[in-house]
Amino acid sequence: MGMFEALLSVFVIIIVFSIPFAVFAFVRYLRYKETIALAERGLLRPERRRRNQDTLRWGIVIMMLGLGLLCGLWPLGFMASSSNVAIEGPASGPVVGESGVSSSTLPFGIGPWMVLGILPFFFGLSLIIIYWVNKREDAEESDEEAIPRHKQVELGKEET
């Protein structure tokens, strides 16, 4: 591989990974310009209410992405352990293959590459748990808001 091909591949990788950041920056810039245009007319941007459904949606997406990566990366452990057949040496234990991975160190095909699937899986799971906790808190708050303020005073539920 020549020097030009190596530089070209590095350049392509940099471009591919910078595209999402450029799109995000452009969207933020447009939002900023819209806010400034509204402020010049004496208007305020309506406050965007955070929806709890977004947390659930992203939690499911990220968790399924992690699960997909786990399922896709799991066979690597079996391929690594089958290509490196451990040979029992004379009283020295298993002999490690060329890649440095012994079949006795990979139970059920699990290896360090599984972290690429485990991290997003548990991150998505934590978002789903956050949704569940916030849903319970929102339900408790909506019960209190269902009673008008003057009725809460009459019922003795006035905030102190």
159 and 115 together in one domain: yes
Sign of CA dihedral 151, 155, 156, 160: negative
Does pLDDT of 30 surpass 90?
Answer: yes
In this structure, of 56-60, 105-109, 153-157, the range with the lowest mean pLDDT score is: 153-157
Does pLDDT of 36 surpass 90?
Answer: yes
Q: How confident is the model at residue 50 (pLDDT cuts 50, 70, 90)?
A: low
The total of structural domains in the chain comes to 3
* Structural domain harbouring 95: 78-106
Q: Which of 72, 75, 77, 69 is nearest to 124 (CA)?
A: 69
146 and 93 together in one domain: no
115 and 158 together in one domain: yes
Q: How confident is the model at residue 59 (pLDDT cuts 50, 70, 90)?
A: very high
20 and 87 together in one domain: no
Query: Looking at residues 126-143, what average pLDDT do you find?
Result: 81
The answer to whether the CB of 103 falls within 8 A of the CB of 84 is: yes
Does pLDDT of 154 surpass 80?
Answer: no
Structure confidence at residue 60 (pLDDT): 94
The answer to whether the CB of 66 falls within 8 A of the CB of 121 is: yes
Ramachandran angles phi, psi of 94, nearest 5°: -70, 145
100 and 114 together in one domain: no
Does pLDDT of 156 surpass 70?
Answer: no
Q: What is the DSSP letter of 95?
A: E
pLDDT tens-digit readout, 77-127: 777 666 554 444 455 555 555 555 554 556 677 777 888 889 999 999 999
